[in-house]
Structure 1
């Protein structure tokens, strides 16, 4: 069975580091409830992560971007709410 990474041309050796970044971003969002600056940085990092994912999908001509859009909107909304509530750090 071909994995998503294989379809997108992402080397398998990148899967663990990319998964670690995604997990760290999720933990950073949770930490942001106690330390807002960490939450804002984590949300910004996840927005960059999913922007990179968009580039990879478009590079191979995969235009089924519904799931990508949902996953981008969540950290973007978290960043917007954090900055609106706490202001610029």
Structure 2
């Protein structure tokens, strides 16, 4: 059982690192569709580099948590990503965007990573 849980934890963590990392890069050179979405939820374009940095820091923290025998680094990064994507979901809800979209997928990945990290 522990091997299966450990494998699931590693797989979900790597998936989260890749997904959030790619998303972070998109915030430094945002495509037009992302800029349009940000205007709709009242997020200023000038905020995107900072938001991308926060995402990149979360992905990097998860990566460090895998390679360093200090598990609290990965846990802290997962908590940070959960908080980030809860905030993103709140911003979208406040703007009247009730659709299921990217921030919800990332939130699900971050929560799954955190839960698997805590039970592993």
TM-score for both structures, normalised by structure 1? 0.86
Displacement, 1:67?
A: 2.9
Aligned to 2:100: 65
TM-score for both structures, normalised by structure 2? 0.65
Runs of at least 5 residues in structure 1 that lack an aligned partner in the other structure: none
By percentage of residues, which structure has more helix?
2
Mapped to 2, the partners of 1:17 and 1:60 lie a distance apart of 20
Displacement, 1:9?
A: 0.5
Aligned to 2:83: 48
Determine which structure has greater relative contact order: mean sequence separation of CA pairs < 8 Å that are 6+ residues apart, divided by chain length. 2
Cα-Cα RMSD: 1.4
Aligned to 2:117: 82
Q: How many residues end up aligned between the 2 structures?
A: 85
Aligned to 1:29: 62
Aligned to 2:43: 10
Q: Specify the SS of the correspondent of 1:62.
A: coil
